[in-house]
Amino acid sequence: MKSRLRATLRGLWWQAFQGRFRHCFVCGHALGRKHVHAEGRRRLVCQDCGEITYINPKVVAGLIPVMPDGRIALLRRDIEPAKGKWSNPAGYMEMGETVADAAARETWEEIRVRIKVGEMLGVYSYADAGVVTIVFVGQVKRGQKPRPGEESQDVQLFSPDALPWKDLAFRSTTEALKDWLATSKKRPRARRLSRRRQLGK
């Protein structure tokens, strides 16, 4: 059952999302699946006015929040899909904001820190997923302590050599963290800090 809750087109979460599209946005009549010859695929088509309802991938803005000591803050999700799994802050982009704005807003909502959004890390998309995830790297301003937002169970700081790889939420989470590790210049510092703390210093 857990595997079917993943955010893939065959997952229960995505099927439930698609199931919400029952009525035409133009006239309010019922939708039905119909082959659209000009496009070569089945679409949701209004059975009264013929208007097509398109279900396109949604844009997700994410961010890798880097602490001043080189560790990163990850949150344990408190909502489906992937409830209970670890993720970087991420969520749907809203109208009226840039992707970078959305990444900063989601970071505040999920781990309660203000962030200086830096360079874009990567774009992550999959043929069997209904989202396109755009991830940035950002620096957490000194003196802030990440804490759970309303959609987070927990927030913890991880050094680059102690990331919870087996308990990450999404493919994009894993790939973004791998990309960050490949480009990070703060890994040696974070490792030294981790060893000192392990020694109780």
Cα–Cα distance between 157 and 73 in angstroms, integer? 5
Cα–Cα distance between 147 and 153 in angstroms, integer? 9
Q: Supply 42's token pair.
A: 């089945």
Helical residues (DSSP H) of the chain, grouped into ranges:
12-18, 99-111, 171-183, 187-198
pTM: 0.81
The share of the chain scoring above pLDDT 70, in percent, equals 84
Cα–Cα distance between 93 and 20 in angstroms, integer? 20
pLDDT at 190: 43
Q: How confident is the model at residue 195 (pLDDT cuts 50, 70, 90)?
A: very low
pLDDT tens column, 24-68: 999 999 999 999 999 999 999 999 999 999 988 899 999 999 999
Q: Supply 53's token pair.
A: 């309802």
For the chain, residues classed under CATH 3.90.79.10 are: 58-187
Q: How confident is the model at residue 81 (pLDDT cuts 50, 70, 90)?
A: confident
pLDDT at 55: 86
DSSP bridge partners of 66: 72, 139
Query: What is the chain's mean pLDDT, rounded?
Result: 88
52-53 and 86-87 as β-strands: parallel, antiparallel, unpaired?
A: unpaired
Higher pLDDT, 185 or 35: 35
Q: How confident is the model at residue 14 (pLDDT cuts 50, 70, 90)?
A: low
Cα–Cα distance between 80 and 162 in angstroms, integer? 25
Helical residues (DSSP H) of 85-170, grouped into ranges:
99-111
Least confident of 78-87, 141-150, 176-185, 190-199: 190-199
Q: How deeply is 151 buried, as exposed, middle or buried, from its count of CB atoms within 10 A (0-12, 13-18, 19+)?
A: middle
154 sits in which H/E element = strand 152-158
* CATH code of the domain occupying 58-187: 3.90.79.10
Cα–Cα distance between 164 and 72 in angstroms, integer? 12
pLDDT tens column, 93-111: 999 999 999 999 999 999 9
Residue 117: pLDDT over 70? yes
pLDDT at 164: 98
Residue 198: pLDDT over 90? no
pLDDT at 13: 62
Cα–Cα distance between 101 and 88 in angstroms, integer? 16
pLDDT at 135: 98
Q: How confident is the model at residue 8 (pLDDT cuts 50, 70, 90)?
A: low
